[in-house]
Amino acid sequence: MDTPSFLRYTASRPDYRGQIVHTEHLAPRQAKFAQPEQPLAAELEDCLTGNGLLPLYSHQAEALNCARRGEQVMIATSSASGKSLCYNLPVLEALLNEPSSCALYLFPTKALAQDQLRSLSQLCGPLLPGYEQLATFDGDTPPAERPGIRKRARIILTNPDMLHMGILPNHRAWSRLLRHLKYIVVDEAHSYRGVFGSHVACVLRRLRRLCRIYGSNPRFICCSATINNPGEHATKLAGLPFTVVDSDGAPRGSKDFVFWNPPFIDQTKSLRHSANSEASGLFSQLVSNDIRTIAFTRTRRLTELVANYSRQRLAEQSPELAHRIKAYRAGYLPEQRRQIEQELFSGQLTGVVATNAMELGIDIGDLEATVLTGYPGTIASTWQQAGRSGRGEGSSLSILVALDNPLDQYFMRHPEAFFHKSFENALINPENPYILRAHLLCAAWESPLSDADDAFFGSSLSRERREMEKQGLLRERRHHWYPSPSVAYPAQEVNIRATSGENIALIDSSTNSLLETIDSGVALFQAHPGAIYLHQGEPYLVTELDLVGHTATARPTSVNYYTVAKDITELRILKKSLRKNYGQVGVCLGHVEVTTTVVGFKKKAQFTEKIIGEEPLVLPQQHFPTVALWFDVPAKIINSVNKAQLDLAGGLHATEHAAIAILPLFAMCDRNDIGGVSTPLHPDTGKAQIFIYDACPGGVGITERGFDLVTELWQSTLRVIAECPCHQGCPSCIQSPKCGNNNEPLDKEAARMILTGLLAGASDNGKKASMAAKLESR
């Protein structure tokens, strides 16, 4: 791709208003090759030669050497670096040397498992002849084929959901696999973070436990995009020590990475042009120039919106190309997703608008450009999405279109904070009691628990087991713990991808057919009465939400707006665990209970995103315990704010919003993974207080990270507020799209004074004074 020509053409267009704020040129990189310590078997070497996979890149040879030594291996290299060969080689060697040995491959999506099956079949078909030697096993596998897979397959490709619900509870039917399991491969390990990652860590411990019962001791090979803590993350996932391979030997073509900031549309510099519209325009331009492109969006709804915008633009500019783009997201039927993947791979489609469902390593051919609608939430995900273009050695283009929020705008003003900052830590918490108890019950169903199981579930096993006995879920008999008679197939009740564990079925009332399923926690915000829900690009008006019956009813509609829920959040402190002092500023970490109530929704016009209406709602409250950090605002700062006749409540509220928006800069999380509360007088402390909490029951370690780096969080938050050119506050600094109080009150200058005072207090006290956290009663 001739990226300089395209960028010059873009900058010459009449609608260009200086949106390109930074272009980072990434130079091409030469390959580094290496030989393994011991030569490959002749038949395996022939297969690699026939597929053009020799010589090995240096990281591939290193991973093979580690696996041969019996180590657990974590490979953390860039996109399109050939990571799959790092696990396929040791697996195929084991299967050739030990005719009864087996391997289990775990992928986060069914689509990726299907794609890897095609690649693996092409690679090793001659090595593993015969029916069902390689097979996927997931929800799309026909029932008639499943017995044969259980009996004969030696490499089984599946996902954590099927392992959790279909394989482990039915382990007797899988005894051959568990008895002869040599390797467990966990691909795209960086995607297992937060709630989902914490669930997967517990599922892997259940798998290891059953392997011990059946007499096997499989080794793990994990692959990940580049993250800051690959070894720690792999260890938390599998519960074992790992060797990290992160020296990337793969070649890379040149890439131009453009930061694109939508222009201001008002004189007060408080509102920017829609990022969705800007991304649609860029995507349409690329497709019009016959440049194969993926445009990424943050949500299913925005995927449909941007695809619709782009289709309308192309219908006006290049009608013959309007049918050569499609939307792609989770929620589509499997056959629809496979068809879109094939059409993109074959060149029938020039462009796709996708969620991060296509961020992972599905083979969709060589693409030349990627458009990212908003910062994806982590540096690792940003590079993963950008890496979908230029997967060969040719040049490519990636464009990050900034949203009107603090973190996106921070990167627009400080691109070095993105390009020269280390990657984030992936965070999980397999000891979260609300997650661990669910999996202990599943484990007891699979085989009675005993004291020996603390080797898998850790020191908290006995405490959680006692709590489950009190709840009547477990019964002890001869030092073994069995599920109570009332418990039946507990895995069915545990949704490992959601905090609530329950799904809502969205029904089309015009046909009485199922459209898709939605997590019940999300349904309160996206499928409430009056919500506009997009399905495959078509708007549906939700008319009823039945939380007891787990259904929502919607009918097709034709409107020019979408909806955003409004909510109110309250918080009470349950227990303070840690405290550290910065001068007069106390910073605490502890357990809290959060209560959230959806109280209404806003209607926003498409394209302009102008608010055209608001309506109230009466919905049940959601309560959940979690972990939070909170900090005091000393009387000296409060007096300064009051003396300046500023709004203290507005300043606290603005500080909370901006700090929540910036915390993902330090922790591998999304803005929606955290929440906050601020108040001039909190009833539990009697002080002005700002809280930031993990937005899932029990927490997954995000606020612990914020607690450790709180002064850095204050510094970055202050920069966002001070450097924003708006006068009174805007979505780029202190306004939040999630705010249940309609972003009122907010006071930008008061927030600046509060943060300046906090940092001054920390500085006066000395950066290392009073920094030792005091453990209080746990």
pLDDT in tens, 668-705: 887 778 999 999 999 999 999 999 999 988 999 999 99
Radius of gyration in angstroms for the set of CA atoms belonging to the chain, rounded to a whole number: 27
Residue 501's pLDDT band, with cuts at 50, 70 and 90, is low
pLDDT in tens, 568-612: 899 999 999 999 998 889 999 999 999 999 999 989 887 777 889
Would you say 622 and 596 are in contact if contact means Cβ atoms under 8 Å apart? yes
> Span 334-344, mean pLDDT?
79
H helix runs in 125-229, sequence order: 146-152, 160-162, 175-179, 194-214
What's the pLDDT score for residue 154?
95
Residue 772's pLDDT band, with cuts at 50, 70 and 90, is very low
- Residue 774 pLDDT greater than 60, yes or no: no
Q: In angstroms, what CA-CA distances link 613 with 308, 565, 567? A: 23, 12, 16
- For residue 261, the tally of other CB atoms under 10 A from its CB is 26
- For residue 697, the tally of other CB atoms under 10 A from its CB is 22
Least trusted range by pLDDT, from 35-44, 332-341, 730-739, 743-752: 332-341
Beta-sheet strands, E only, within 315-431: 325-328, 351-354, 369-373, 396-401
Distance of alpha carbon 549 from alpha carbon 572, whole angstroms = 31
Residue with the bigger pLDDT between 362 and 277: it is 277
Of 239, 163, 172, 146, give the one whose Cα is nearest residue 207.
163
Residue with the bigger pLDDT between 713 and 366: it is 713
Distance of alpha carbon 347 from alpha carbon 364, whole angstroms = 9
- Residue 528 pLDDT greater than 50, yes or no: yes
Structure tokens at 315: 């219908």
Of 262, 260, 263, 316, give the one whose Cα is nearest residue 288.
316
- Residue 500 pLDDT greater than 80, yes or no: no
Mean pLDDT of the residues in the chain: 90
CA dihedral over 43, 49, 55, 58, signed as positive or negative: negative
Distance of alpha carbon 184 from alpha carbon 208, whole angstroms = 10
pLDDT in tens, 218-240: 999 999 988 889 999 999 999 99
Instruction: Count CA within 13 A, CB hemisphere, residue 457.
Output: 31
- Residue 777 pLDDT greater than 50, yes or no: no
pLDDT in tens, 147-191: 999 999 999 999 999 999 999 999 999 999 999 999 999 999 999
Q: Enumerate residues 6+ apart whose C-beta is below 8 A from 694.
A: 626, 627, 628, 673, 674, 700, 701, 702, 703
Residue 768's pLDDT band, with cuts at 50, 70 and 90, is very low
> pTM for the full model?
0.84
What's the pLDDT score for residue 594?
96
Residue with tokens 């995103």: 609
What's the pLDDT score for residue 129?
61
- Residue 498 pLDDT greater than 80, yes or no: no
